[in-house]
Structure 1
Amino acid sequence: MRKMLVTSVVLVLVACGAKVDKGTRPLYEVLTQQEQGGAQVRFFEILTEEKEINMLLGDENLKDKIKPADINTANFVILNLGEQTSGGHTVAVEKVEELPDKIVITVKESHPGPGEMATSVMSYPYAIVRVNSKKPIEIKD
C-alpha cells in the first residue's frame, strides 16, 4: 500500500511539472473566403480596436472561428473586392511577411479571363483574415 502511495505522489509531481506544448499559432489564418457577401465597393480594412473586432464576433460565418481573447492578441483584415458583374472573381492573401516593426500582407485578386466560363450573376467576393500579431499592418496589392 505504501509503495502504491509513493508511486502516486511521484506521478502527480511529475505531471504537475510537465510542460505541455500547446503549439504555436500560424502568423495568419484565412477565416473565410466567399464569392458572395462582401460590400459593393472595393476596400481593404484593418480591424485593430475592440469594438471593430466585436462586430466580427456576431457574424454567423465567423462566430466559431474568433474568440473574445483574440481582441488582445490579433488583428483582423477585411479584403473586399467590391461588386463584380459575374462569378469567378476572388480576393485572397498571396503572402504575409513579419518584419521587426510591422506585418506586410500582399493581396492577390483573380478575375476570369477572356472567354472563360463564369456565372452571369453579380458577385461580391471577400475574405477575412486573422493576423496573430498586434503589430501594425501594411497591405500591398
Structure 2
Amino acid sequence: MKRILFLVSSLFLLTACKSTLPPESSYTAYDILFGRDYDGASFQFFEMITEESEYQMLLKDPIISPYLKPNDIQDNNFILVNLGEKPTGGWSIKVEKVKILKDKVEVVIREIPPKGMATTAITTPNFVLKIKSKKPIDIQIINPGK
C-alpha cells in the first residue's frame, strides 16, 4: 500500500511540475485560421497576403476577423488557398509542410480527393493560413493525378 501511495504521489508531483504550452499553438510555424467547403472561388488559386492594405480585406471578413488581431500583419504573412470548383463533396486541403528557413518559408499544401462515395454537390474548398514569419514564401500545391 505504501508503494502505491508513493507512486501516485510521485506521479502527481511530476505532472504538477511539467511546463504547459500556451493555449495558442505558438510553437508551430503556422495556424489554419479558417477553412470551409463552400464560398470559395470557382477556379484554383492561392493569394499571399503580406501587406497592410491586403490585410484589411481579412479584417473586414466577418468569419475570419475573429481569429485576427489588427497588428498581426506586422509579424505574420497569410495565404488564402482555393481549390476551385469540385464536382463532389469530400475534397479537402492538407498542409503538408511549413518550414521556416534562413531566407524564406517553404509551404507545401496537398489537395486531398474524397475517399469512397461522396455527395454530388459542387463544392469550392478554401482556407486561410497564418504563417508566423515575414520572410518571402515559396508555396507548392500538390494535386492528385497531376
TM-score normalized by the length of structure 1: 0.78
Q: Is the 8 A contact 1:33 1:92 kept in 2?
A: no
Residues 92 and 127 of structure 1 are in contact (CA less than 8 Å); yes or no, is this contact kept in structure 2? no
SS in 1 for 2:66: coil
- Look up the match of 1:112: 114
Gaps of 5+ in 2: 1-21, 142-146
Name the amino acid aligned to 2:105.
I
Task: Give the letter for the 1:53 counterpart.
Answer: Y
Any gaps of 5 or more consecutive residues in structure 1?
1-21
**Sequence identity (%):** 39
Give the Cα separation in 2 of the matches to 1:24 and 1:72.
18
Distance of 1:110 and 1:135 partners within structure 2: 27
**Counterparts of residues 65-84 of structure 1 (less than 5 Å):** 65-84=67-86
Q: Secondary structure at the match of 1:54?
A: helix
For residue 30 of structure 2, what is the aligned residue in structure 1?
Answer: 28
Larger Rg: 1
How many residues end up aligned between the 2 structures? Answer: 119
TM-superposed CA distance for 1:24, in Å, is 8.1
CA distance in 2, matches of 1:69, 1:136: 19
> Which one-letter code corresponds to 1:125 in the other structure?
P
Alpha-carbon distance, 1:137 to partner: 0.5
4+ long deviations beyond 2 Å: 22-26
Are residue 121 (structure 1) and residue 128 (structure 2) matched? no
Query: 1:6-29: per-residue Cα shift (whole Å, max 9, x none)?
Result: xxxxxxxxxxxxxxxx78823210
Alignment root-mean-square deviation, CA: 1.8
Structure 1 equivalent of residue 18 of structure 2: none
- Normalised TM-score (structure 2): 0.76
